[in-house]
């Protein structure tokens, strides 16, 4: 039996999500800020999926942490009332802050104080977290900017499904592109391409769109529908039709 609170958008009665844009000085590093409030009388098992971003989160039992790119999905149990504030960094932008290859954080969580050299504000809002980040802005890094631009190309072009085509469009050899992604994004360009294509499908499902599954699999560059469903399930935690029932 599925938890009825995860079906048909019922979870929205228990959660409130807010986002905010960064100040111009931080826009090259930060994609957005996010806050989640929840209120559950009984524990709720939350499915969490993400784009290839590093997140700084403050709140909850873990305290202040930095989570690297998660290549699959994860679950977190929410109970009672709570709040978490987060910073979603632009894919490719965290390497100058970390001062080490971002692949070292992939599928891992680190204490925020170990990464930033200080604890973030205990109860942050946008103003206090921006003051914290602005005090620690790194020097501009051309390679990091190239990685950010490469991911932006993937995100903007749903028809882009092949690494060799991405490399040609950016003017990089494929091996150079792979090294750039490992260093600055934390995952391979092939993984990022597939993650954004799966994200586009999830977005359509959330909007209630009717899907021609064989046609969509071919459009996204998959050999057949079964390969697409396996990728979707691995990344999003459940098959597409089960995921659609959440909305």
Interval 126-157: pLDDT, tens: 999 999 999 999 999 999 999 999 999 999 99
Q: Are residues 148 and 187 in the same domain?
A: yes
**Backbone phi, psi, residue 79, to 5°:** -145, 150
Whether residue 218 sits in one domain with residue 128: no
Rounded distance, CA 173 to CA 165, Å? 10
The whole-number pLDDT of residue 209 equals 82
Final residue of a domain: which of 134, 158, 182?
A: 134
CA 162 to chain centre: 21
Q: Distance between CA 245 and CA 41 in Å, rounded?
A: 23
Q: Are residues 95 and 35 in the same domain?
A: yes
Q: From the CB of residue 122, how many other CB atoms can be counted at a distance below 10 Å?
A: 10
Both 173 and 107 in one domain: the answer is: no
Check residue 125 and report its DSSP letter: -
pTM for the structure as a whole: 0.93
Residue-level pLDDT at 222: 85
Number of domains present in the structure of the chain: 2
115 CB-contact burial (10 Å; exposed 0-12 / middle 13-18 / buried 19+): buried
Q: Find all residues with CB under 8 Å of 157, minimum gap 6, and list them.
A: none
Among 116, 134, 152, identify where a domain stops: 134
Q: Looking at the predicted structure, is the pLDDT value of residue 22 above 80?
A: yes
Query: Two tokens at 11?
Result: 């979870």
Range of the structural domain that residue 41 is part of: 4-134
Considering the domain architecture, whether residues 98 and 166 belong to the same structural domain is answered as: no
Would you say residue 60 has pLDDT above 80? no
Q: CA dist 16 to 81, 141, 162, 204, Å? A: 11, 36, 37, 21
Q: Assess whether 18 and 128 both reside in one domain.
A: yes
Point out the domain boundary residue: 107, 134, 161. Answer: 134
Residues paired with 109 in a beta bridge: 67
- CATH number, position 148: 1.10.10.60
Mean pLDDT of 71-84: 93
């Amino acid at each position: 039996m599925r938890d009825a609170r995860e079906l048909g958008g019922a979870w929205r009665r228990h959660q409130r999500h807010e986002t905010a844009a960064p100040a111009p000085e931080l826009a090259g590093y930060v994609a957005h800020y996010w806050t989640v409030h929840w209120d559950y009388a009984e524990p709720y098992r939350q499915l969490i999926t993400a784009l290839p971003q590093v997140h700084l989160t403050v709140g909850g039992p873990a305290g202040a942490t930095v989570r690297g790119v998660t290549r699959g999905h994860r679950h977190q149990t929410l109970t009672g009332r709570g709040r978490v504030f987060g910073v979603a960094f632009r894919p490719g932008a965290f390497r100058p802050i970390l001062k080490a290859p971002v692949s070292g954080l992939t599928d891992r969580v680190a204490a925020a104080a170990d990464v930033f050299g200080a604890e973030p504000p205990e109860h942050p809002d946008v103003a206090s977290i921006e003051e914290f980040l602005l005090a620690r802005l790194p020097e501009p890094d051309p390679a990091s900017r190239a990685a950010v631009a490469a991911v932006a190309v993937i995100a903007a072009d749903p028809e882009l499904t092949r690494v060799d085509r991405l490399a040609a469009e950016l003017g990089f050899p494929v091996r150079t592109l792979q090294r750039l992604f490992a260093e600055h994004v934390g995952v391979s360009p092939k993984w990022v391409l597939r993650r954004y294509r799966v994200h586009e499908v999830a977005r359509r499902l959330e909007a209630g769109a009717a899907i021609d599954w064989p046609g969509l699999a071919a459009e996204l560059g998959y050999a057949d529908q079964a390969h697409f469903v396996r990728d979707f399930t691995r990344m999003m935690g459940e098959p597409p039709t089960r995921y659609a029932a959440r909305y």
